[in-house]
Structure 1
Amino acid sequence: MVAEPVVGAPDAVADLHERAARIRDGMGGAAKVAALAAAGRLTARQRIDGLLDDGTFDEIGTFAHSARPEDAASTPGDGKIGGFGRVDGRPVTVVADDITVKRASTSAVGARKMRRLFETAVRDGLPFVFFGETGGARIPDMMGSAGFGAIGPLLYPSGRARSVPMATVIVGESFGASSFLAGVSDLVVQVRGSALAVSSPKVIEVATGERITMEELGGVDVHARTTGQIDLVAEDEQQSWDQVRRFLSYLPSNAQQPPPVLPAVAPEDLGPLTSLVPAERRRAYDARRLVRGIVDAGSLMELQPQFARSLVTGLARIGGHPVGVLASQPLHQAGVLAPQTCDKATRLILLCDAFGLPLVFLHDTPGFVIGRQAEHQRLIAKAMLLQQAVLMAGVPRLSVIVRKSFGLADHVMSGLGTGADLLVAWPGAEISFMDPLAAANVLTPDGAGPAAERVDAGTVGAVTYDTGPYPAAAGMHLDEVIDPERTREVLLCAIERYRLRPFASGADRPLARWPLAW
């Protein structure tokens, strides 16, 4: 019988380093690591090192393995690699699925490691970053009531409040737990070529007979354009690391801290703001240029750019202060709001409210989309959800009515009567219950020809004479009518003024405990 090395003795320390090196270098087997390299793919450890500042990864759970004796030798780390490190000097927690160990399938020990890291991140106030690529649950471990009972509560932090920023990067074929984690994350990045779904095409075919490709089921275009379940597409893994780093730079490490302030940067020189917005309210323009003309140069990080495109949402800085931006986008559907737009807006509001970022609304919307499809997509429920989020937000709400703001769309964009902390309008803005032309048509008997040709000038005049900003300003429904070229100055003054308020942590705000998906 060979004696175990004495604790602390040189041979015990050497044994420790030899064991750790074997696990960290060999992972699930040299052949599997080599196969990933041959396919131009990265290992879980390479992803972690790519995200973190050089040499800062401090691993826990190195010596974990499957609880099943027959799998102990073949499951180093048990499919999950994680620990702590730094991103731009700030401490973070990071976990990555290890595809070389049983397809990174979720088992009791691997899930326990992930849960341990997440709970530590919340307790210590550290952002949590996850790289997802798993085939789902490990069937032998999950089957039976005892196995299911052991793994189920450890799978994902579905009941979490937004106490620390959580980012998920989908790097490969992701089913089950890694997809569920994406569903409760503040940022979801999907690398092109990966797939994000609850079940794999094989499981779907067995269960339903439906045949579907991985790309059709959960590729980046599906989620970026149709479902809205991801915030950003990364063309490669390097870009995904950059996106996560940039996202975290706008946010505090946790909801107990105020957001970080950087040195101010002047906005892009795009000419006068009035040159970016046509006076004719039916002419389209790109709202992103207007936003870029207001915020610090290079600071706009648009989120969900291909989803619900009639609203631009994202993070930016004004005078170095991070803010959330919601801007009507006349370039798409004239800037109308729709059920999907409401989901997009609500998601950003919840994020900003949890982590203390002021919200900036730029209005140029004719109202909500109407028709059978919108109603069948639960327009009422989505609009009311968004309105509740706006009214319950505890962070400053700063609204600028740029060109037009009609009906309920004005209210859900933090407009008249919503208690906005700042509500101003450009001098040519139109504000009313509905578009004056539409209102005139409602008042005009049916006739031949397009609606615009049926109404007479007198009827239009009767419903448009008081839609300008001055009647609202006269009754103190607006704080001020401003020179458009002062828009940035007015917003920055408000942001700096509201920073003097006593800071309310995210845990004290109602939206911090709203569901993370709906």
Structure 2
Amino acid sequence: MRPDLKEVIERHRYILDENRPEAVEKRKTKNQRTARANVADFFDGGDYIEYGALAVAAQRGRRPIEELIKRTPADGLIAGLGKVNGDLFPPEKSRCMVLAYDYTVLAGTQGFFNHKKMDRMLKLAYEQKIPLVLFAEGGGGRPGDVDATGVMIAGLDLSTFYSFARLSGRVPLIGAVSGPCFAGNAALLGCCDVIIAAKNANIGMGGPVMIEGGGLGTFRPEEIGPIDVQTKNGVVDIEVADDVEMVAVTRKYLSYFQGRVSNWEAGDQTALRKLIPENRRRVYDVRAVIRALADKESFLEIRPKFGTGIVTGLIRIEGRPFGVIANDCRYMGGAIEAEGADKAVRLIKLCDTHGLPILSLIDTPGFMVGPEIEKRAQVRHVCRMFVVGSHVTVPYFSVVLRRGYGLGAMAMAAGGFHESMFTVAWPTGEFGAMGLEGAVKAGFRRELEAISDPQERQAFYEQMVAQLYERGRAMNMASYLEIDAVIDPAETRKWLIKGLDSVP
């Protein structure tokens, strides 16, 4: 072998996990894989090309080069191009870029050369419109890169964060993290469309050193932004068990933005006829409705612990990807609160940006009202549903499962029942300008107050509710053309596919 080629091969061996047994073993003790193992698992067959593999930390002024080559391979950032889900999609759809911080190298911190490497890759991703996945574990900025002190003071003029953020809306931008993710690493993670995090993740805009340096106390990394906090506040979109599931879910999430799959299976659609209780006061599991309606194993829920009155996620119908939003009547009767509205808006914008049609499953008494909810800026938050809905450009389909009341139901239907590609109801659908019970109490207050006998008053109240219910039944609504149709629940998939096929 030629000496020059031998030198190249020998140098590249330093970046391989097989030649870094101590680092690999340390990860195993934490029930984590190395960054390289995750990247190899993410790309089809572990096959990818790596940019900037020969970089080392900018610390030649304080450490021997031999030590840097051994201890700081790739300067702690793996940058690769390869295929993902290539068995399902053609090359132009399966191409993907990965940027993975390597925690075994200086705690996954952001150094001078890995910033330079990332800037190079972000430029490529932007120009070539390549979907990007960021494995974000790491501690933020690295103060020990002394080689850079001669060319910069604070380094705040770098373009990494700008370049990363401008990819949002241009390509799918996916963040995944296992372990600690603080400061600059968290800043990049927070720019992603979705954050997929393992149970051991800790995410914060500042790590222990920064917090203590700011005089804010002393904390262990595990105390800062743990997974139970970040799932409930909506920072983390999808929680997974470990590195293995993190990579698998990341591949699955990406697939919805890669296109249609040819192999799919649907369940017995007649089961949908029984999922909404005949007793209109009984609750049900809307996730069961989504799973029954979607292709089998295709429902990927997003932010399940945040804004719990609304369910959001991604599904497939006959192999075609859809975004889905749905009211959950088990939480506050399905009333829309500020957090749920934010959750719905984010899903709608994600789908609209990347060309996914949207399915809205409606069962709501409307927007939540009252003094307490207004303390959470309810007006501003829920009205974003109207603003965003009015700008949707992808096909939007509204299906009323049961209650379609007031402004909340209109917001779920992109702003109004005639703003969707279609608005249909199942036979259980019921409608009104506001909840029936509230409408009777407000509209017939004088009549109710005039009845002194409690039993007679209750009977009158129930009679008025029944009349309004009959008037607002789905069949009656459709006869006045306020909705487009009342359909057999088993025909919902047919309506969605016919509707989708009818758009240019």
Provide the secondary structure at the position in 1 that maps to 2:244: helix
Cα pair 1:324 1:358 within 8 Å, conserved = yes
Alignment deviations for residues 240-285 of structure 1 (CA, whole Å, 9 cap, x no partner): 1110111111113xxxxxx334334222x37532311012222110
* Partner Cα separation in structure 2 for residue 473 and residue 98 of structure 1: 58
Aligned to 1:353: 352
Q: Which amino acid aligns with 2:198?
A: V
Cα pair 2:168 2:192 within 8 Å, conserved = no
1:234 to 224, 229, 240: 240
Q: Which amino acid aligns with 2:498?
A: C
Cα pair 2:323 2:359 within 8 Å, conserved = yes
Q: Percentage identity across aligned positions?
A: 29
- The reply on whether 1:279 has 2:278 as its aligned counterpart is yes
2:4 to 12, 25, 33: 12
* Partner Cα separation in structure 1 for residue 38 and residue 465 of structure 2: 61
Provide the secondary structure at the position in 2 that maps to 1:118: helix
* Partner Cα separation in structure 2 for residue 143 and residue 341 of structure 1: 47
* Partner Cα separation in structure 2 for residue 201 and residue 371 of structure 1: 40
Alignment deviations for residues 62-119 of structure 1 (CA, whole Å, 9 cap, x no partner): 1122344325732332221111122122221111111222212112211121222222
Q: Which amino acid aligns with 2:373?
A: A
Deviates more, 1:463-472 or 1:129-138: 463-472
* Partner Cα separation in structure 2 for residue 379 and residue 320 of structure 1: 37
Cα pair 1:232 1:304 within 8 Å, conserved = yes
Structure-1-length-normalised TM-score: 0.86
- The reply on whether 1:343 has 2:342 as its aligned counterpart is yes
Quote how far apart the aligned CAs of 1:59 are. 0.5
Quote how far apart the aligned CAs of 1:26 are. 8.0
Aligned to 2:483: 478
* Partner Cα separation in structure 1 for residue 359 and residue 312 of structure 2: 10
Cα pair 1:328 1:365 within 8 Å, conserved = yes
Provide the secondary structure at the position in 1 that maps to 2:185: helix
Quote how far apart the aligned CAs of 1:129 are. 0.9
Quote how far apart the aligned CAs of 1:408 are. 1.5
Q: Classify 1:297/1:14 alpha carbon distance in 2 versus 1 (closer, same or farther; 3 Å).
A: same
Aligned to 2:60: 69
Q: Which amino acid aligns with 1:86?
A: K
Aligned to 1:223: 230
Alignment deviations for residues 171-224 of structure 1 (CA, whole Å, 9 cap, x no partner): 111001221122121221111112011112443244244455544431111111
Aligned to 1:431: 431
Cα pair 2:260 2:321 within 8 Å, conserved = yes
Q: Classify 1:116/1:429 alpha carbon distance in 2 versus 1 (closer, same or farther; 3 Å).
A: same
* Partner Cα separation in structure 2 for residue 323 and residue 144 of structure 1: 52
Q: Classify 1:143/1:336 alpha carbon distance in 2 versus 1 (closer, same or farther; 3 Å).
A: farther
Provide the secondary structure at the position in 1 that maps to 2:56: coil
Provide the secondary structure at the position in 1 that maps to 2:140: coil
Quote how far apart the aligned CAs of 1:315 are. 0.8
Q: Classify 1:464/1:150 alpha carbon distance in 2 versus 1 (closer, same or farther; 3 Å).
A: closer
* Partner Cα separation in structure 1 for residue 373 and residue 293 of structure 2: 33
Aligned to 2:80: 83
- The reply on whether 1:488 has 2:479 as its aligned counterpart is no
Aligned to 1:251: 257
2:13 to 21, 24, 29: 21
Q: Classify 1:150/1:21 alpha carbon distance in 2 versus 1 (closer, same or farther; 3 Å).
A: farther
Q: Which amino acid aligns with 1:96?
A: A
Quote how far apart the aligned CAs of 1:365 are. 0.9
Q: Matches of residues 69-468 of structure 1 in structure 2 within 5 Å?
A: 69-70=60-61, 73=65, 74=68, 75-89=72-86, 90-141=94-145, 146-149=152-155, 152-155=158-161, 157-210=164-217, 212=219, 214-225=221-232, 227-252=233-258, 259-267=259-267, 269=268, 272-414=271-413, 416-417=416-417, 419-443=419-443, 444=445, 456-460=461-465, 463-468=468-473
Cα pair 1:134 1:173 within 8 Å, conserved = yes
Q: Which amino acid aligns with 1:435?
A: G
Q: Classify 1:18/1:334 alpha carbon distance in 2 versus 1 (closer, same or farther; 3 Å).
A: same
Q: Which amino acid aligns with 2:284?
A: Y
Give aligned pairs, total: 481
Q: Classify 1:20/1:71 alpha carbon distance in 2 versus 1 (closer, same or farther; 3 Å).
A: farther
Cα pair 1:132 1:172 within 8 Å, conserved = no
Q: Which amino acid aligns with 2:143?
A: I
Provide the secondary structure at the position in 1 that maps to 2:312: strand
Aligned to 1:255: none
Deviates more, 1:148-157 or 1:235-244: 148-157
Q: Classify 1:169/1:420 alpha carbon distance in 2 versus 1 (closer, same or farther; 3 Å).
A: same
Quote how far apart the aligned CAs of 1:483 are. 2.2
Deviates more, 1:181-190 or 1:409-418: 409-418
Aligned to 1:509: none
Quote how far apart the aligned CAs of 1:232 are. 0.9
Q: Classify 1:372/1:109 alpha carbon distance in 2 versus 1 (closer, same or farther; 3 Å).
A: farther
Alignment deviations for residues 366-388 of structure 1 (CA, whole Å, 9 cap, x no partner): 11222333212111111121221
Cα pair 1:441 1:454 within 8 Å, conserved = no
Aligned to 2:502: 497
* Partner Cα separation in structure 2 for residue 36 and residue 461 of structure 1: 64
Provide the secondary structure at the position in 1 that maps to 2:424: strand
Cα pair 2:270 2:490 within 8 Å, conserved = no
Aligned to 1:48: 39
Provide the secondary structure at the position in 2 that maps to 1:456: helix
Q: Classify 1:12/1:277 alpha carbon distance in 2 versus 1 (closer, same or farther; 3 Å).
A: same
Cα pair 1:171 1:194 within 8 Å, conserved = yes
Cα pair 2:14 2:73 within 8 Å, conserved = no
* Partner Cα separation in structure 2 for residue 173 and residue 300 of structure 1: 28
Quote how far apart the aligned CAs of 1:229 are. 0.8
* Partner Cα separation in structure 2 for residue 209 and residue 285 of structure 1: 46
Q: Classify 1:211/1:10 alpha carbon distance in 2 versus 1 (closer, same or farther; 3 Å).
A: closer
Q: Classify 1:329/1:81 alpha carbon distance in 2 versus 1 (closer, same or farther; 3 Å).
A: same
Flag structure 2 segments of 5+ consecutive residues without an equivalent. 87-93
Structure-2-length-normalised TM-score: 0.88
Quote how far apart the aligned CAs of 1:425 are. 1.3
Deviates more, 1:110-119 or 1:151-160: 151-160
